Structure 1
Amino acid sequence: MTRFDTATVVTPASAEGGYTADLDPGYLIGKAMNGGYLMAVMQRAALENSPHPHAVSSSFHFLRPASGGTAEIGAEVLKAGRTVAVVRVTLRQAGKARVTGTIATAEVDSGAVPEYTVAAPQLPPIGECRLYDPRIGAEDAPAFTRRVAQLYTEDSWQRLLGRVPDPVPELTGYVHVSEEDGGPALDDPTLFLPLAVDALPPVVTVFGAWRWAPTVELTWHMRAVPQPGPLAFCSRAHAVNDGWFDETVDVWDVKGTLVAQSRQLARGGR
């Protein structure tokens, strides 16, 4: 069992869909928990309350930053159908709602062959990509950079370093649980998907130094059961305007199958 597996465990606290979680401070970025990690924890609570094993469509609103330590999670089943169940989840700390979401659950056939899927980008081997985080070496470098390995293609590396004039807001590379935490060998790779789609630096980082860019809303879809191993990603923005930007992330597994898609709206870095 990896640290990620244990860090996302939820414990039943009531018969009415109440759970507790011990949020791992290793997933802090600055003073706030990474949103993808919170989504992964909340997803586990939703699946505990659902008759189906996979979160196929999830939408979250981020109300306030969460911190490490105890959190309460409420999971309310809104619909329990034979094919799809819908669960509303809310994560609270100190009596205040921090994140709220609605998760549609179902069962995705791990052996399904896509009738059509967007092809994975042509990336160099992972060993030729750059392990990068602009905060490494800084006094306030977050432990998160040791929990989740992010490796970037050379083009993305140059954009993140600010070496490309008029850069395009797009990043490509690979993401997986760090070797320190057990590598890609997760008990259930599907549980990592909500973290994978929100683990990267804000794509607007290509326009300047890394700054916290708080997510307001994020929706993501699971499209297939991933094979074990690193996930390839492409992250991009379509518009940056008036202090807001969108970010779309597509994720493929080692077989080149599209396994997750996300779209979020965030405030500009600050």
Structure 2
Amino acid sequence: MARKIGVYWVFTNIYVDDLRAIGTPIILEGTADDEKKKYHLYRIALEILTTERTYVDKLNLIDQVLHARLDAANERHNMFPDDVTKRMFSNMKSVYQLHHDFVLPQLEQRMQEWEKVKRIGDIMLRFAPFLKMYTEYVNNYEMAQKLINIWLVKSNRFRAIVDELSKLPECDNMLILNHMLVPVQRVPRYELLLKEYLKRLPGDSADRADAEKALTCVSAAAHHINNAMRKIHKFKKLLEIRDLLGGAVDLVSPSREFIKEGRLVKISARSGDHQERYLFLDG
């Protein structure tokens, strides 16, 4: 058993309670410092699992509840063409199946065996290549926003159904679009958790090589997602500027992107007068 040394005994008790809660056999041995290191590593692995449970619940809400109910309502009332909801939700069903059928069960199993197999990098590495499917979802997110907003204006029945769905307990009075943003945020969260896990992982751990490879894959996916979101926001800004200028200048083209905006003062070379201007910079 670990020794009672200062505040560390609190850590050990929490560790034991967490292990008992998920049905893991309790084996405590070694010095307080050793057990403290094990505790911190375990807590990060546990956070990966607990956040994955919450994430799968959210994916279930998006795919199995919101998407399914909108499809059912459309079959009854013929609000819009059949492919509209497919374009709204993109490949969400594949994302949901990946995490519900494979990632979460493997994490659950591993945490129940934690005292025997103290590693999580191998599981993260196993599914990291599948994060490529997020590219399709992220690239479609702007179109999904646009479609939902169009039909909220265009169809009173669609708006009523969306309002009804937002009142479901699991929706927390939030609109569909708020929930649909969650998958975009998940991959960067994996990156942060893996970085923290590697900080706590002993240098000679058998899990280090897999965890490092997993972080490389996840970081690449997170970088791509962040770049895609930045491009989406910049494109949206160009549309807003075009509308602000009344469409007098066609700003939207594949080679143009918004860079910066702000006020500046122009000083006349002849009179020295100060003239305030508002500048939009693109490239």
Band of TM-score, shorter chain: under 0.3
TM-score under structure 2 normalisation? 0.22
Structure showing the higher strand proportion among its residues:
1
TM-score, L = length of structure 1: 0.23
**More helix by percentage:** 2
Which structure is larger by alpha-carbon Rg, 1 or 2? 2
